[in-house]
């Protein structure tokens, strides 16, 4: 039997469920599950919703820019964009004059679907944020940003 050398945790923790990474993953999984359920009623997936939100704020984004913003691969975003285009929620030119990027834009139907889905998603976030004292929200957001930046994100 090999000798196992204990490794000290990065902060005081009795077990894995007390680690920051575990708690972040648990929160993210709960949010994703709630969003999946809510968006299903609007005929959207989380990546599709993220794509519509990004295009509403920044019309004309490319596949690569959308993939970065939605935290998916470029290949996955290609599938998302095709699905949104087939559903009539976005439009993209067949070709472009410069480079390979095909800028995407919301259609009127895409904007309408986004507005309906946004209400459901914002209600979820409101419910989540209401679980913490309002005075701590800014500090929580700053802490989350610092943790992401510490890991190069």
User: For domain 20-150, is the CATH number 3.40.50.1000?
Assistant: no
pLDDT for the residue numbered 69: 95
pLDDT for the residue numbered 1: 60
Domain residue ranges in the chain: 20-150
Using pLDDT thresholds of 50, 70 and 90, give the confidence band for residue 153.
Answer: confident
Token reading at 65: 């820019």
Q: Is the pLDDT of residue 2 over 90?
A: no
Write the DSSP string, 87-148.
TTSEE--SS-SSSS----EE-HHHHHHHHHHHHHHHHHHHHHHTTS-GGGHHHHHHHHHHHH
pLDDT for the residue numbered 100: 63
Cα separation, 55 vs 3, whole angstroms? 55
Cβ atoms 124, 35 nearer than 8 A: yes
* 56-75: pLDDT as tens digits: 999 999 899 999 999 999 99
* 5-20: pLDDT as tens digits: 888 878 787 888 889 9
Q: Is the pLDDT of residue 149 over 90?
A: yes
Please tell me the pTM assigned to this model: 0.86
Cα separation, 68 vs 130, whole angstroms? 29
Cβ atoms 60, 104 nearer than 8 A: yes
Cβ atoms 61, 55 nearer than 8 A: yes
């Amino acid at each position: 039997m090999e000798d196992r050398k204990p490794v000290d945790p990065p902060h005081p923790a009795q077990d894995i469920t007390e680690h920051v990474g575990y708690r972040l993953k648990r929160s993210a999984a709960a949010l994703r599950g709630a969003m999946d359920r809510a968006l299903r009623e609007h005929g959207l997936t989380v990546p599709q919703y993220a794509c519509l939100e990004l295009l509403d704020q920044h019309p004309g984004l490319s596949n690569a820019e959308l993939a970065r913003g939605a935290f998916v691969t470029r290949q996955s975003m290609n599938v998302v964009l095709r699905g949104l285009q087939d559903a009539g929620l976005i439009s993209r030119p067949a070709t472009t004059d410069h480079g390979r990027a095909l800028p995407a834009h919301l259609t009127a139907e895409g904007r309408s679907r986004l507005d309906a889905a946004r209400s459901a998603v914002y209600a979820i976030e409101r419910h989540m944020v209401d679980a913490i004292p309002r005075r701590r929200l800014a500090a929580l957001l700053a802490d989350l940003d610092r943790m992401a930046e510490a890991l190069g994100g």
